[in-house]
Amino acid sequence: MVARPRVLVLGDETKGEVRRVIAAHKTWLEERCAVVATLLRRDDPIEVSADLCLCFGGDGTILSAARRMGSNQIPTLGINLGKLGFLAELTPEDLPDRAEAALRGELPEKKCLLLECSVSSDPETKVLVLNDAVVQRDRDSRLAAVTVSVGGRHVTNYVGDGLIVATPIGSTAYSLAAGGPIVAHDVEALVLTPLAPHALPVRPLVVPAEEEVVLQLEGEPGEAVGSLVLDGQVSFPIRGGDQIRVRPSPVRFRLLTSRDEDFFRILRAKFGWAGSPRYSAR
C-alpha cells in the first residue's frame, strides 16, 4: 500500500473566514491525505513532520509558520484570506488544483532566506525571522542610538527612531514603507533601513546576506532604550549595552509558488507597481 502524503494544516483563527474555509475543504483533504495536525493559533508549537503545509490566512500566518517550524522547514502553500497576500498568493478556489500539483511535486519551491536573531541578554534564545528585525525606540524614550557592524566591519552609528534589518522578502514590507529599496527575492542581500534618521545623509544600505550584522545599543547599562520586534510578532525589551546579532540561518523557508507567478508580476499586481501612470499592472 502506498502511504498517503502527510499534510499539516495551519491557520489563524482570528481571521473570521479561516475555520469556515478549512471546514469546507476538510472532506477533500481527508480523501487524499493524512492530515497530521490542524493548528489554528499563531502560538501553537509545530512538533510534527509533514510532506506539505497548507497555510490558511495571510502573510502574517506564513511569517508565524516559518518561525515555528524551526529547523524542520516544510514545503508551504499559502492560501490568502487576508488583504495583500504577497506570500500567500492562492485563493480558496485555487486550492484543489494547486494542492494536487503540490502533492505530485509539480510546484516550484522557492527557498527563502531566514535570519537567526538573538540578544546578548538572552543569547540562548534564537528566533527565526523571514521578514525583518526592527530596533525601535519606545514612544516616551529619547532617540535610539545604534552602532552597526557587518561582518566585523564598522558601518556607522544610526540615531533616530530605530533601524530595520530586512531580508529580500521583508524588503517589500516595513522597510519599503520606511523608504527602503525593493530587493528581488533571489538576491542574497539584507537591507539596513533607518527609521526617521537624525542625520539627513543617512540612507538605506544593502549589504551581503552571508555576513553577520551586529547592532550595539547605546545607553547606560540596563537602561530601557526600546524594543526589538521580529517579523512584527515577537518582541523583546532592549537596554543600553545590549547587542543584537542577526545572522543567516542554515535552514531556508520552503515556499511553494504557482507556475504562472513571478516576482515582478506580483509587484505589478499587488502593489500597482508601474513605470508610468499609463503602464498596465497586469
Domain 6-108+257-271 in CATH 3.40.50.10330: yes
> Based on the number of CB atoms within 10 Å of its own CB, is 242 exposed (0-12), middle (13-18) or buried (19 or more)?
buried
The C-alpha angle with vertex 33 and arms to 32 and 37, in degrees rounded to 5, equals 145
Q: According to the model, what pLDDT value does residue 42 have? A: 85
Q: Where does CATH 3.40.50.10330 sit in the chain?
A: 6-108+257-271
Q: Are strands 132-136 and 224-230 parallel, antiparallel or unpaired?
A: antiparallel
Catalytic-labelled residue, pool 12, 51, 59, 132: 59
Q: Where does CATH 2.60.200.30 sit in the chain?
A: 114-250
Q: Which three cell numbers stand for residue 281?
A: 499592472
**Best CA proximity match to 8, nearest among 95, 63, 76, 68:** 76
Rounded alpha-carbon distances, angstroms, from residue 170 to 62, 76, 164, 179: 12, 18, 10, 13
Residue 194: partners with Cβ closer than 8 Å, 6 or more residues away:
158, 160, 162, 163, 164, 178, 202, 203, 204
Task: Pinpoint the alpha helices (H) of 11-158.
Answer: 18-24, 26-32, 59-69, 95-103
Grid coordinates 557587518 are at which residue? 150
How does DSSP assign 151-217, residue by residue?
A: TTEEEEEEEESEEEEE-TGGGGTHHHHTTPPP--TTS-EEEEEEES-SSTT---EEEETTSPEEEEE
Residue 83: partners with Cβ closer than 8 Å, 6 or more residues away:
58
Q: What is the pLDDT along the chain (282 residues), one digit of tens a residue?
A: 557 899 999 998 887 789 999 999 989 898 989 999 999 988 899 999 999 999 999 899 999 999 999 999 999 999 998 776 788 888 889 888 988 999 888 999 999 999 999 999 888 889 999 999 999 998 777 889 999 999 999 999 999 999 999 999 999 999 999 999 999 988 999 999 999 998 888 999 999 999 999 999 998 888 888 999 999 999 999 999 999 999 999 999 999 987 666 788 878 877 777 766 665 555
**Best CA proximity match to 59, nearest among 281, 233, 183:** 233
Entry pTM: 0.92
Q: Is 262 a catalytic residue?
A: no
| CATH code, 114-250 | 2.60.200.30
